[in-house]
């Protein structure tokens, strides 16, 4: 198979590496010479490191690197069987690119978008043959993260999703199928991990380090503020805004002033040296509270919100139960699938917590999922 990747940023380069390691010929396209050169240099430095770590042989590294070509010309994608777009999260820009690439590729070439939260259906509408468009959402860094969300557009032809799912699985990834709704699975279900943590902080209940420690204490590899700093506060805020607007301003997905201020201050996290934490040399590491009851209350409040969101996604047929559980464990490294976790703790306790939060705040943000209520009736 010959694969085209549009966009040579971190995500596009990562997807190109994944496809090449799976044996595909890859054309990495970017209109900017500087971006292509940066990608080429980064990939050239990556393969020797993989050899050094014993991840591949020197011969394989040479073969994989030789399978990736770089081009500023869109026409270089003409012989591709699959083209994956991985550019800026801007709907109009993506639609323009899809309309252009459709004029270059063959009639049976599959066109895919790596969007994390935009409508695949809207992107497909820019094509003369929208039935060949599908979402293939990798997670960053693509070579390391196993999960890939497969999202059919409303127009996607019958059978294409299974074809794409099998192809992605053959690349060594874990594909899950999601409906074309804002945030798909992961960026929808994970919103309370960040949002409720921000709410707790803004209410003055606890600082960043205490909230992060509370979530690590129940098995999460990173706390919400650590993770936002790693992702980039600009990226996290943009996804939050996109999901919020796409859901007609549903209060469950509302962004927070603290997020906005971080972006305005250009405190974007690790990549800028400052975010919720200071990453400069010699900066003092804040110490979390020693109040174990406080941390227990924090972790349960956030976890209950996550379990509620996962059940709501299942109730609305966003994905199957198995795919919802896979998505959260393989996409964002949650210690357990949220539906199973809720059953382990007790769904009745989850319902009682949601009702208590709603009673306290009287906000739709805390409405209990109908599925959770039905399962405990």
**Torsion angle (degrees, nearest 10) of CA 34, 40, 45, 51:** 170
DSSP label at residue 105? S
Residue 377, classed as helix, strand or coil, is coil
Q: Per the residue annotation, which of 85, 149, 213, 325 is the catalytic one?
A: 149
Q: Per the residue annotation, which of 116, 242, 308, 369 is the catalytic one?
A: 116
Identify any residues that bridge with 64 across adjacent strands, giving them in sequence order. none
Q: For residues 130 and 321, give the distance between their C-alpha atoms in angstroms, rounded to a whole number.
A: 28
Contacts of residue 250, defined as CB under 8 A and 6 or more positions apart, other chains included, come to 244, 364
Q: Per the residue annotation, which of 187, 233, 236, 299 is the catalytic one?
A: 187
Q: For residues 299 and 304, give the distance between their C-alpha atoms in angstroms, rounded to a whole number.
A: 8
Q: Directed axis angle between helix 292-315 and helix 347-361, to 10°? A: 100
Q: Per the residue annotation, which of 29, 137, 213, 325 is the catalytic one?
A: 137
| Cα radius of gyration rounded to whole Å, the chain | 21
Does 116 participate in catalysis according to the annotation?
A: yes
Q: Are 10 and 17 contacting, i.e. CB atoms less than 8 angstroms apart?
A: no
Does 187 participate in catalysis according to the annotation?
A: yes
Q: For residues 179 and 151, give the distance between their C-alpha atoms in angstroms, rounded to a whole number.
A: 6
Q: Are 84 and 114 contacting, i.e. CB atoms less than 8 angstroms apart?
A: yes
- The residues that are catalytic are 116, 137, 149, 187
């Amino acid at each position: 198979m010959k694969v085209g990747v549009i966009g040579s940023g971190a995500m596009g380069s990562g997807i190109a590496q994944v496809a090449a390691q799976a044996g595909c010929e890859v054309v990495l396209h970017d209109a900017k010479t500087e971006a292509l050169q940066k990608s080429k240099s980064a990939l050239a430095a990556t393969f020797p490191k993989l050899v050094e770590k014993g991840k591949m042989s020197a011969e394989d590294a040479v073969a994989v690197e030789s399978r990736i070509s770089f081009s500023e010309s869109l026409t270089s994608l003409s012989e591709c069987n699959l083209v994956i777009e991985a550019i800026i999260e801007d709907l109009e820009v993506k639609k323009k690119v899809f309309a252009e690439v459709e004029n270059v590729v063959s009639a049976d070439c599959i066109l895919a978008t790596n969007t994390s939260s935009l409508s695949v259906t809207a992107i497909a509408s820019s094509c003369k043959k929208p039935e060949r468009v599908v979402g293939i959402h990798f997670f960053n860094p693509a070579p390391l993260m196993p999960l890939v969300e497969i999202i059919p557009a409303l127009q996607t032809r019958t059978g294409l999703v299974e074809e794409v799912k099998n192809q992605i699985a053959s690349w060594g990834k874990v594909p899950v199928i999601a409906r074309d709704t804002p945030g798909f699975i992961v960026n929808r279900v994970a919103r309370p991990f960040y949002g409720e943590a921000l709410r707790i902080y803004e209410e003055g209940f606890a600082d960043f380090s205490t909230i992060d420690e509370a979530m690590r204490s129940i098995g999460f590899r990173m706390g919400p503020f650590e993770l936002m700093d790693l992702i980039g506060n600009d990226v996290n805020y943009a996804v939050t805004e996109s999901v919020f607007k796409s859901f007609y301003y549903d209060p469950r997905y509302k962004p927070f002033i603290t997020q906005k201020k971080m972006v305005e201050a250009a405190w974007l996290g690790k990549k800028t040296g400052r975010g919720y934490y200071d990453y400069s040399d010699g900066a003092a590491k804040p110490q979390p509270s020693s109040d174990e009851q406080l941390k227990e209350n924090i972790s349960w409040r956030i976890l209950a919100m996550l379990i509620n969101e996962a059940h709501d996604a299942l109730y609305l047929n966003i994905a199957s139960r198995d795919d919802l559980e896979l998505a959260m464990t393989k996409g964002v490294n949650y210690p357990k699938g949220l539906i199973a976790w809720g059953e382990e703790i007790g769904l009745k306790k989850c319902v009682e917590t949601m009702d208590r939060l709603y009673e306290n705040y009287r906000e739709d943000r805390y409405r209990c999922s109908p599925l959770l209520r039905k399962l405990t009736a």
